[in-house]
């Protein structure tokens, strides 16, 4: 493969920038642009060593910096890798990259360093995907899950199951293809046990997918209620800054305003919606329809009520709609700084999750956080278990699980071992596609298209 280079740090002013070079000629390319102060030459540097020196363009000094050398196969990509650290200015960073390109390197594509790591056997496809999950993690749960997968937890589980299925397929194929040979028959009890073991693993991973979605992608949340109950003020409180317009005029919010807020270790994708009520105003009516549509789509509802006035038909309609939907919800009794006109017990018929706050009080944010953490701490979450939220992986697991179930059903119906073998073979293929051991080039390209250049 060619020698490639890219800027591996964000292209913005900062303390330092890193330009990464990988490939057969990485060291010779680095030697053309970097002169070390502390050793004789770049070519003589050993792996896992650094040198302070000057980055130069011919006889002209461009910057001072540090060169780190990794020798194949003991590097991230499995190839010779050099990383040049320079001052973090945008111009100087681009200048160093341009020097590398002028001295034998080609520009790296998105995710190319990690793709090379996979092709060189340093990572599985699932581990490579977890690299981006680590970068994108916004909380402790997401980071812990990504790290486990990056360290090979998911690959290890699937690889073990696949190995057992391949071994089983070998035994079945030998018995089916060579009936005249004196081979031991495949016992149905052992066959069922092997399929059942594989089903147990795939079933648990699939069951954990919802937790993975919650941890990785955030919780789709709608803030709902009548006009002027404090929805926008609550949105701003959760965000920590003013995003929604707040006025005394009912019906100020017409569009759905969407932002993300981190509460504890979880991310909530908040939608501040128009006040839900009967209205003849055409524009406001469109906003109400959009709010009701988002209410139907979301995972979690924060229902906001003004405690300074008694609940009316619109309030009760919202409470009943959310209760009937079965969605998880939190009732926020707002405006606790005013004299209360309602009994909290009235709302207990609709939800046990109730907080009484003033959205104008910054300290009351902690009450909301405590309540949502109680509602949304991932069920049976184990920091040492593998949780994934990758649709490609889930699709592979779903196909494998379905074929394993079909294999058991075929045994129950007395089908031939030929038919059972075909279904187990399909299951094994799906699991090999998941780990990348049998993934098509199109699948691999799709995975790495989501990466940033430089990783």
Partner residues linked to 409 by β-bridges: none
The response to whether 144 counts as a known ligand-binding position is no
The response to whether 20 counts as a known ligand-binding position is yes
The response to whether 122 counts as a known ligand-binding position is yes
The response to whether 90 counts as a known ligand-binding position is no
The response to whether 233 counts as a known ligand-binding position is yes
The response to whether 294 counts as a known ligand-binding position is no
d(CA 226, CA 231): 9
The response to whether 359 counts as a known ligand-binding position is no
Cα torsion 329, 394, 108, 26 to 10°: value is: 110
Query: Which residues fall within 8 angstroms of residue 156, CB to CB, at 6 or more apart?
Result: none
The response to whether 102 counts as a known ligand-binding position is no
The response to whether 324 counts as a known ligand-binding position is no
Q: Where are the beta strands (DSSP E) in 174-213?
A: none
**Token pair in block for residue 79:** 């190839």
Residue 331's Cβ-side half-sphere holds a number of Cα atoms within 13 Å equal to 23
The response to whether 248 counts as a known ligand-binding position is yes
The response to whether 251 counts as a known ligand-binding position is yes
The response to whether 402 counts as a known ligand-binding position is no
The response to whether 377 counts as a known ligand-binding position is no
CB-CB contact of 239 with 259 (8 Å): yes
The response to whether 83 counts as a known ligand-binding position is yes
The response to whether 232 counts as a known ligand-binding position is yes
The response to whether 455 counts as a known ligand-binding position is yes
d(CA 284, CA 34): 64
d(CA 185, CA 418): 14
Q: How far apart are the first and last CA of the chain?
A: 17
The response to whether 167 counts as a known ligand-binding position is no
d(CA 438, CA 13): 42
**Token pair in block for residue 263:** 């509460």
The response to whether 272 counts as a known ligand-binding position is yes
> Binding site for (6S)-5-formyl-5,6,7,8-tetrahydrofolate, residues?
20, 83, 122, 455
> Binding site for Mg(2+), residues?
232, 253
> Binding site, residues?
20, 83, 122, 228-233, 247-253, 272-275, 455
> Binding site for GTP, residues?
228-233, 247-253, 272-275
> Binding site for K(+), residues?
228, 247, 249, 252
């Amino acid at each position: 493969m060619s020698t490639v280079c890219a800027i591996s740090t964000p292209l913005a002013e900062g303390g330092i920038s890193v330009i990464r070079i990988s490939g057969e000629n990485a060291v010779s390319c680095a030697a053309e642009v970097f002169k070390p102060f502390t050793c004789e030459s770049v070519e003589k540097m050993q792996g896992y060593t650094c040198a302070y020196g000057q980055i130069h363009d011919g006889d002209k000094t461009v910057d001072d910096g540090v060169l780190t050398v990794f020798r194949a196969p003991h590097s991230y990509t499995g190839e010779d890798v050099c990383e040049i650290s320079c001052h973090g200015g945008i111009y100087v960073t681009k200048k160093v990259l341009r020097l590398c390109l002028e001295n034998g390197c080609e520009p790296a594509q998105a995710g190319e360093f990690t793709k090379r790591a996979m092709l060189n056997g340093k990572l599985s496809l699932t581990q490579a995907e977890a690299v981006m999950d680590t970068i994108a993690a916004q909380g402790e749960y997401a980071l812990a899950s990504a790290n486990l997968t990056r360290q090979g937890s998911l690959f290890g589980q699937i690889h073990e199951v696949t190995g057992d299925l391949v071994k089983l397929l070998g035994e079945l194929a030998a018995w089916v293809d060579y009936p005249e040979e004196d081979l031991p028959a495949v016992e149905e009890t052992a066959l069922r046990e092997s399929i059942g073991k594989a089903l147990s693993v795939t079933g648990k991973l699939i069951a954990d997918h919802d937790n993975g979605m919650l941890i990785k992608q955030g919780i789709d949340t709608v803030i709902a209620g009548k006009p002027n109950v404090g929805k926008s003020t609550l949105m701003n409180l959760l965000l920590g800054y003013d995003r929604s317009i707040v006025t005394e005029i009912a019906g100020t919010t017409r569009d759905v305003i969407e932002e993300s807020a981190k509460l504890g270790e979880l991310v909530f994708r908040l939608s501040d919606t128009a006040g839900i009520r009967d209205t003849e105003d055409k524009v406001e009516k469109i906003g109400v329809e959009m709010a009701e549509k988002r209410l139907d789509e979301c995972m979690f509802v924060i229902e906001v009520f003004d405690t300074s006035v008694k609940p009316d038909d619109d309030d009760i309609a919202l409470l009943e709609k959310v209760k009937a939907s079965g969605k998880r919800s939190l009732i926020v009794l707002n405006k606790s700084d005013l004299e209360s006109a309602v009994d909290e017990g009235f709302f207990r018929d609709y939800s046990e999750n109730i907080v009484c706050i003033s959205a104008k009080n910054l300290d009351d944010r902690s009450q909301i956080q405590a309540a949502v953490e109680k509602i949304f701490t991932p069920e049976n979450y184990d920091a040492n278990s593998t949780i994934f939220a990758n649709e490609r992986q889930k699709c592979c697991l779903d196909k494998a699980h379905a074929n394993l179930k079909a294999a058991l059903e075929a045994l129950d119906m007395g089908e031939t071992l030929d038919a059972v073998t075909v279904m187990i073979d399909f299951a094994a293929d799906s699991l090999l596609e998941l780990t990348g051991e049998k993934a098509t080039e199109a699948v691999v390209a799709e995975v790495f298209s989501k990466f940033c250049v430089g990783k």
